[in-house]
Chain A
Amino acid sequence: MTEQSSILVTLSASAVRSGTILLFPTLGEIITERSGVINLGIEGMMIIGALFGFITGNLTHSPYIGFLVGMLAGGLTSLIHAFISITLRGNQIVSGLALTIFGLGLTNFFGQDWINKKFTIPVSSIAIPGLSKIPVIGPVLFNQDIFVYFSYILVVFMWFVLFKTRTGIHLRALGENAQAAGAMGVEVNKSRYWWTFFGGLMAGAGGAYLTLVYAPFWLDGITAGRGWIAVALVIFAMWNPLYAVIGAYLFGGIDSVQFQLQASGTTIPSSLLNMQPYLMTFIVVIAATIVLRKRHIGTPRELGIPYSREEK
C-alpha cells in the first residue's frame, strides 16, 4: 500500500468515527420527525448525554455504562420537549431551542469540575474477521469500535422497521396525517412520546460517543454545533436512515479533514476552517430542498403540528 492511500484510509476511518457522532442523533431525529414532532433541541440533548456519559464513564471506569447513561440522559431531556409539544401542544420550535440553551447551560454548570479532565480507558477497535481484510473498505468500515458497529446495526434495523413493519407504517402515518392514524386506532400522542424519547436517546448516544471515544475529554460546549448539523442531515437524508449514513460520514469527513489540517499547522485561519461544517450545511439544505421538491417526497406533512382528537 502506498503512503498516500494509507493516509486516505486513516482519514476515512476517522471520518466514519467522526460521522458516528452525527449519525446517532440524525437517526433519532429522523424517527422523531417522522412521528410528527420536530425537536430542535438535539444540541442540548447531545451535550447533556456527552457530560453525563463522560462523568459516569469516569466514575464507573466503564465506557459502556457511560454510554448507556449518556443515552438515558438525552432521552430524559427529550421528555421535557415531549411534554411541552405533545401534552401542552406548545410551540415546538421554541421548546426545541430552549432545550438546546438549557442543555448548554446545565452542562456548563455541572461540568465545571470536569473541564480538561480526560477519559483514559480506550475503547479498542475490533477487526471483523474476513470483512476487515477487504482492501480499503475493510480497514475503513470493519476495523472500528463496538459503538460504530452498533450504529450500523441501528441503521439497518431502523430502515427495516420503518419500511417493512407495521410499527413503521404507524410511525410514518403519524407525521403525515395524525387524524387518519388516530381514526385507525393508533394512539397518536402515546406513540409520539415514545418516538420523541427515542430521538433523545439517540442524541444522548451521539454526545456520549463524542466524550467517551472520539475526543475523550470534557470541554465546555464540546458538541460545537454538531446537533445543528444533525438537524440539517435529517433533511439531507430525506428522512431515510440509509441516506443518513452517507450524510453523516460526509460531514464526519469534513470534520476530520479540518482537524488534520489544523494539526498539520496550515496557514488557513482556524476560524475559517471551523466555519466549514456550517457552510456545508447551507449547501446541503439548499441542494436537498431542490431535490425534494422535484420528487414526491418531503417533510412529514404534519411536522410540528400537535394532535387533538376532538378539535373542531
Chain B
Amino acid sequence: MTDIVVALRKITKTFPGIKANDGVDFELRKGEIHTLLGENGAGKSTLMNIIDGIYQPDSGEIEINGKKVHIKSPSDAMKNGIGMIHQHFMLVDSLTVLENVLLGLTSAGFYVDKKKVAAKITAISDRYNLGIDPFTKIWQLSVGEQQRVEVIKTLFRGAQILILDEPTAVLAPQEVEETFKIYRQMVQEGKSIIFISHKLNEIMDISDRITVLRKGKAIGTVDKDKTSEKDLAKMMVGREILFRLERGPLNRGEKILQVENVKALNDKGLTALNGITFDIYGGEIFGLAGIAGNGQKILSDVIAGLRKSISGSVYIDGKDLTNANPKEIFEQGLSYVPPDRLKVGLVPNLSSSDNAVLRHYNREPISRNTFINYTEVENYTDHLIKNYDIKVPRKDAPVKFLSGGNMQKLLLAREISEKPKLLVVVHPTRGLDIGAMEFIRTVLLRERDNGVAILLISEDLDEIFMISDRIGVIHDGRILDIVDIEQAKVERIGLLMAGLDEKSTQ
C-alpha cells in the first residue's frame, strides 16, 4: 500500500469569465514526484494555489494524510506540511535570505537570534548543496539562487509536501540538472513533490507519475514508465474533433507581411526571438500556434513597433519598417489587437466613445482645427456599435465596465475600421463566451475574404485550426514548421508546440 499524502476530490474554482478548475481529482503519494502537465491556462497554478490556501475552491474537498482539511491560508498549508514555491518568487528583495526565511514564521520568538537561525539555514544549504549564504540580500542573488532560497524557506519550516510551480522556466539548462538532483534527494528522504511544467523532456526525466490537465479538467494520470512524450503531448493538446468554420476559397493576394530572420530580446535581456522568418499574403489567415511564453508576444510587439528587434527585418507591403515607430507602421496599414486588451488595447477609464476614436481622433471629420467634434464621435461610435453588435449600456461610461466580449468587439471594430492591409490579432477570444468567440472568428474570416492579411496568434489550437489557412508553430523563439491547413494534423502540431520535431518522435 502506498500512502496518499494529498488527495483532491472534485475541486472546482471559477474566476469571472473562466472556469479555471472543473471537478479536478488528484492524488499525491508519499515519496513521489508527481507532475501536473498542461498548457498555459489549463488550471495548474490555480489548482496548486488552492492546495496552498491562496485561493479557496468553490466546491470540492482536500485531504491531507487521509484527513479532510480546510486550508484557509498559506500558513494553514504550512501547518499541514505543505510548502509552495511560486513561479513568481515570494521573496522580499531588500531583506536578507535569513529575514525572508523568518518571514511569517510563527515558531520564532519576538527577538530573533540571528546566529542560531543562520546556522540552521547553512545546515540545510550544505545538506542539499545549495550554496546559499544567509546574510546575502535577495536582490544580490541570481534567479536560480533565489529559487533555492525558496526551497530553503519551505524546508526550514519542515515541509513534507513541496509544490513547485514551473521551477525550471527561469533556469538555465545546467541549473535544471542541479535542481533535479536536489529534488531527487528530497524524495529519497521521504518528501513528496508536485511538479508543474509543460516541458515534456523534463517531465519524462524527473516524474514518477503525470496528471494532465486540459481546460480546467483532469484528463488522466499516467505512470512515467508507461507513457511517452508523444502520448503526453496528445493528452495535453487534446484530440477532440476539430471543425473548420465555413469560408470562401483562398484568394491569395500580394505579399503583405515579410518577417526575415528577426531576433529580439525579452525584458530580462535574454534572447526571446531567435531568427523568425515567415510571410503573410493578402486574403489569408496565418495562425501562429505555440505554448505561452515561446516568443509570441515579443513577435507581435516587434511587428507593431512596440519593441525593438536586434537583427533581421520586417516589411509591410514592401516597405521596410524594421524598428520603425508605431505611428509609421500604423500608417502603412497595420491594425493591432494586442493580447492584453485592457492594458494595451483600450484605455480602461475612458468612455467607449473615446476608445472608439483613439485611432483617428486627429483626423477629419472627428477632429477639425484641433477641436474634437463630439457629434461625429457619437455618430462614429453608434456606427461601430450597430455593425459589430456591441452591447454598450452607456457610451460615456468607462470602457472597463464592459464585458470582455464587448470590449474585444469594440477593439476589433476600431482596428478593422481603419481598413488595414495587415491585421495582427493576439489571443482574440481568450476569456470570452462562446457567442462572442464565434462572432469574432466570423469577423476575422470576413476580413480575410476582403483581402486583409491576418496574423492570428493564439494558444487555443482549436481556434487556429478553425480559421487559419496556414499554421506556423513557434517554440523557444523559432518557427519550427509552417504547414497548409489541409496538411495540418493536430497531433503533429501538438508535438511541435512541445518542441519535438518529427525526427525525435519517430
Contacts and interface: CB of A to CB of B under 8 A. Distances in A.
B99 A169 contact: yes
A165 B110 contact: yes
Given A165-B110, A166-B109, A181 B86 contact: no
B104 A181 contact: yes
B110 A167 contact: yes
B73 to A, nearest CB: 6
Interface residues of A, number: 24
Given A166-B112, A167-B110, A312-B15, A185 B75 contact: yes
Given A166-B102, A166-B108, A180-B103, A185 B78 contact: yes
B112 A180 contact: no
A45 B111 CA distance: 31
B55 A310 contact: yes
Interface string A169-203: 11011001101111111100000000000000000
A180 B85 CA distance: 11
A169 B112 contact: yes
13 contacts: A166-B109, A166-B110, A172-B94, A179-B90, A181-B104, A182-B74, A184-B75, A184-B103, A184-B153, A185-B78, A296-B137, A301-B93, A312-B15
Interface of B: 15, 52, 54-55, 73-75, 78, 84, 86, 89-95, 99-100, 102-106, 108-112, 137, 139, 153
B52, B102, B103: most-surrounded residue (chain A CB, <10 A) = B103
Nearest to A172: B95
B95 A176 contact: yes
Interface in A289-312: 296-297, 301, 309-310, 312
B93 A177 contact: yes
A169 B102 contact: yes
Contacts of B112: 164-166, 169
Contact of B94 (A166, A176, A181, A184): A176
B95 A183 contact: no
B91 A180 contact: yes
B3 to A, nearest CB: 26
Given A164-B112, A166-B110, A312-B15, A185 B95 contact: no
Contacts of B99: 169, 172-173
Contacts of B52: 183
B382 to A, nearest CB: 33
Nearest to A312: B15
Contacts of B102: 166, 169
A51 to B, nearest CB: 36
B74 A169 contact: no
A182 B92 CA distance: 11
B103 A173 contact: yes
Contacts of B110: 165-167
Given A173-B95, A180-B103, A312-B15, 18 more contacts: A166-B110, A166-B111, A172-B99, A173-B99, A173-B100, A177-B91, A180-B92, A180-B100, A181-B92, A183-B86, A184-B74, A184-B90, A184-B103, A185-B104, A185-B106, A186-B103, A297-B94, A310-B54
B104 A186 contact: yes
B460 to A, nearest CB: 19
A183 B94 contact: no
A170 B103 contact: yes
Closest 8 A/B residue pairs (Cβ): A185-B75, A184-B104, A185-B104, A180-B90, A183-B90, A184-B103, A173-B92, A176-B92
Nearest to B46: A312
A183 B93 contact: no
A181 B103 contact: yes
A184 B150 CA distance: 11
Contact of B111 (A164, A181, A297): A164
Interface string A139-178: 0000000000000000000000000111101101100110
Contacts of B55: 310
Contacts of B93: 176-177, 301
A169 B103 contact: yes
A176, A185, A296: most-surrounded residue (chain B CB, <10 A) = A185
A183 B75 CA distance: 8
Nearest to A297: B94
A179 B89 CA distance: 10
Contacts of B106: 185
Given A164-B111, A169-B102, A185 B94 contact: no
A129 B215 CA distance: 76
B18 to A, nearest CB: 10
A192 B323 CA distance: 46
Interface in A235-287: none
A164 B139 CA distance: 20
A126 B408 CA distance: 72
Contacts of A179: 90
Contacts of A301: 93-94
Given A164-B111, A312-B15, A169 B54 contact: no
B54 A183 contact: yes
Contacts of B103: 169-170, 173, 180-181, 184, 186
Nearest to A310: B55
A253 to B, nearest CB: 32
A183 B92 contact: no
B482 to A, nearest CB: 34
A173 B99 CA distance: 9
Contacts of B78: 185
A301 B103 CA distance: 17
A296 B137 CA distance: 11
A185 B105 CA distance: 8
Given A177-B92, A310-B54, A296 B139 contact: yes
A164 B117 CA distance: 13
